[in-house]
C-alpha cells in the first residue's frame, strides 16, 4: 500500500520503518525540516535497537522516504497515520493542537478517498473531532474515513513489538476502513480486535494505566517488605506465576518514567474528571510512583547520614534500558534532589548523557564508564538496569569506591552474593537481606 505517517517522532519512525519492511511504500512527513534533513542522511534522532538499520535498508530499497511537505504526503497516500506529538498541558490534558492542524491540512489537500488513522495516544472522542475538523475544511466533499489504531510499542523493544504484536486494535466506522487496515496488518498474523473508534481510544489509555497500576502496586508491596523483613523479589515471583496476574511489570524499583505512563495517566485522570468520574485509583497510582523516588532518597540518607559534600556515583540515567529517553526519568529527579542537598554527582549512561547534559548544566560530572563513576565515590546508585551494569567487575568496583556501599534502585544484584563480596548492599523492598 501507499502509506503516509505524519509525525516523525518515536512512534512515527518505528511505524514507518516497520510498514516499509513489510513491503509498503511509506512517506514519513514532519514539519521539523532539520529532523527531516538528518533522516535523509541516515541520522536517526532517537536510539532504538535495530531502528537505524531498518531505516537505512528501506530508504535504499526506495520503500521509505522522508519529507517536510505534508501536502505531498497527503496526495501520495491512501492511508494516512497521525503520529504527531500530544504533550501534556499544565492541567494534565493532552495538547491536541498538532492533531487538529494536521487534520485541517489533510482536508485541504485531499484529492481522493483517504483513510485517516489516529496512531498517537489521544483522549477518547478525539476521533469525533478529527472527523468534524476534516468535514469543515473538506470543501470538495471528498470521501474519507477516520479510524483509531493505537500503538503498543515498548521503548527498547519497539521493532519486535510491532512485528510480533500481542494484538492489533482498530476502531472503525466503515467496512472499507476495516478491510484496508486488516489487509495492511495481515502479514503480521496477529489477533485483530475490531471495535468502534471510542472503544479503541479507550483501550490504549486503559492498557497503559493498568500497567502503571501493576508497577505502583509492587512498589507499595516493596514498602511493606522493607518494614516486615520480606523480599519483594520473592513476593513478585509468587504472585507472577499466577496466570491471572502474570509476572511482567512486577519489578519493584524507583518508579516508572518515560513519555507514556506519566502522560497517559494524567490524561486519563483528566478525561475521567471531564466526564464526571473521579478516577481516584489512578490518582493513588500516580502518588505512589512519586513517593517511590522519595523512598529511595530516604535509603541514601539513611546510609550516608549527611548528603552535603558527599560524592555519589550514579549508573543509568534513561528512564529504562535500551533507550536514550530521559523524559520523566526517575534518575533526573533523584539527581536534582541530591544536588539541592549539596551532593557531588558522578554519572554514566551508555546512551543518553548528551541529552542529560542539555537538561542539567552543572553540578554533575559525566564519566566515560562505570568504573570512573565508582572512583572515590561515597556510594554507588543503580537507577537504570542496563545489561552492562550486570557484568561489572565487582572486585574493581569495591577497590574504587571510598566505601563499599551500593544502593540498588532496580534490584539488579543478588543481595547475598554482594554481601559475600564485602558490600553494604541495599535494595528496594529486600528487607529480608537487610
Q: Specify the DSSP element, H or E, that contains 382.
A: strand 379-382
Nearest CA-CA partner of 89 in 247, 225, 237, 267: 267
Q: What is the dihedral of CA 193, 194, 198, 202, to 10 degrees?
A: 0
355: its cell numbers? 541529552
d(CA 199, CA 228): 43
DSSP assignment letter at 391: G
CB atoms within 10 A of CB 278: 10
Which of left, alpha, beta for 23 (phi over 0: left; psi -120 to 50: alpha)? Answer: left
Half-sphere exposure of 386 (CA within 13 A, CB side): 22
d(CA 320, CA 257): 8
Query: Is 290 buried (19+), middle (13-18) or exposed (0-12) by CB count in 10 A?
Result: middle
d(CA 289, CA 20): 38
380: its cell numbers? 554507588
Residue 121 three-state SS = coil
CB atoms within 10 A of CB 232: 27
Residues 6+ apart with CB under 8 A from 176: 115, 145
From residue 288, alpha-carbon distances to 76, 215, 294, 405 in Å are 48, 9, 10, 26
d(CA 25, CA 243): 41
* Alpha-helical runs (H) found in 229-279: 232-240, 261-274
Task: Find the distance separating the first CA and the last CA of the chain, reported in whole Å.
Answer: 59
d(CA 352, CA 316): 9
Catalytic residue numbers read 260
d(CA 396, CA 411): 20
d(CA 333, CA 381): 14
Amino acid at each position: 500500500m501507499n502509506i503516509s505517517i505524519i509525525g516523525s517522532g518515536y512512534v512515527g519512525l518505528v511505524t514507518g520503518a516497520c510498514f516499509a519492511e513489510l513491503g509498503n511504500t511509506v512517506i514519513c512527513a514532519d514539519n521539523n525540516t532539520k529532523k527531516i534533513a538528518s533522516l535523509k542522511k541516515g541520522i536517526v534522532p532517537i536510539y532504538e535497537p535495530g531502528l537505524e538499520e531498518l531505516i537505512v535498508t528501506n530508504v535504499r530499497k526506495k520503500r521509505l522516504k522522508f519529507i517536510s511537505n505534508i501536502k505531498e504526503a497527503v496526495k501520495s497516500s491512501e492511508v494516512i497515520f497521525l503520529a504527531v506529538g500530544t504533550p501534556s498541558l499544565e492541567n494534565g490534558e493532552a495538547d491536541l493542537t498538532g492533531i487538529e492542524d494536521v487534520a485541517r491540512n489533510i482536508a485541504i489537500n485531499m484529492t481522493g478517498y483517504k483513510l485517516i488513522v489516529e496512531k498517537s495516544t489521544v483522549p477518547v472522542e478525539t476521533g469525533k473531532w478529527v472527523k468534524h475538523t476534516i468535514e469543515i475544511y473538506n470543501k470538495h466533499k471528498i470521501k474519507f474515513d477516520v479510524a483509531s489504531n493505537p500503538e503498543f510499542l515498548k521503548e527498547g523493544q519497539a521493532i519486535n513489538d510491532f512485528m510480533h504484536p500481542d494484538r492489533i486494535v482498530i476502531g472503525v466506522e466503515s467496512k472499507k476502513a476495516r478491510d484496508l487496515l486488516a489487509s495492511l496488518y495481515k502479514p503480521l498474523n496477529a489477533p485483530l480486535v475490531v471495535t468502534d473508534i471510542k472503544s479503541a481510544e479507550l483501550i490504549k489509555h486503559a492498557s497503559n494505566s493498568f500497567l502503571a497500576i501493576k508497577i505502583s502496586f509492587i512498589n507499595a508491596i516493596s514498602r511493606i517488605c522493607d518494614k516486615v523483613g520480606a523480599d519483594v523479589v520473592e513476593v513478585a515471583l509468587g504472585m507472577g506465576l499466577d496466570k491471572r496476574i502474570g509476572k511482567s511489570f512486577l519489578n519493584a524499583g524507583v518508579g516508572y518514567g518515560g513519555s507514556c505512563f506519566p502522560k497517559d495517566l494524567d490524561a486519563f485522570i483528566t478525561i475521567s474528571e471531564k466526564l464526571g468520574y473521579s478516577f481516584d485509583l489512578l490518582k493513588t497510582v500516580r502518588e505512589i510512583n512519586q513517593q517511590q523516588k522519595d523512598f529511595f532518597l530516604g535509603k541514601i540518607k539513611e546510609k550516608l547520614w549527611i548528603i552535603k559534600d558527599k560524592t555519589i556515583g550514579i549508573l543509568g540515567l534513561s528512564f529504562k534500558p535500551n533507550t536514550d529517553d530521559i523524559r520523566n526519568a526517575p534518575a533526573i529527579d533523584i539527581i536534582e534532589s541530591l544536588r539541592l542537598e549539596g551532593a557531588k554527582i558522578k554519572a554514566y549512561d551508555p546512551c543518553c548523557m548528551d541529552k542529560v547534559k542539555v537538561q542539567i548544566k552543572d553540578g554533575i560530572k559525566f564519566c566515560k564508564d562505570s568504573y570512573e563513576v565508582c572512583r572515590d565515590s561515597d556510594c554507588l546508585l543503580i537507577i537504570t538496569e542496563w545489561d552492562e551494569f550486570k557484568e561489572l567487575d565487582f572486585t574493581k568496583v569495591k577497590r574504587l569506591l571510598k566505601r563499599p556501599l551500593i544502593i540498588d534502585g532496580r534490584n539488579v544484584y543478588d543481595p547475598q552474593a554482594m554481601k559475600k563480596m564485602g558490600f553494604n548492599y541495599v535494595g528496594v523492598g529486600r528487607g529480608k537481606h537487610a
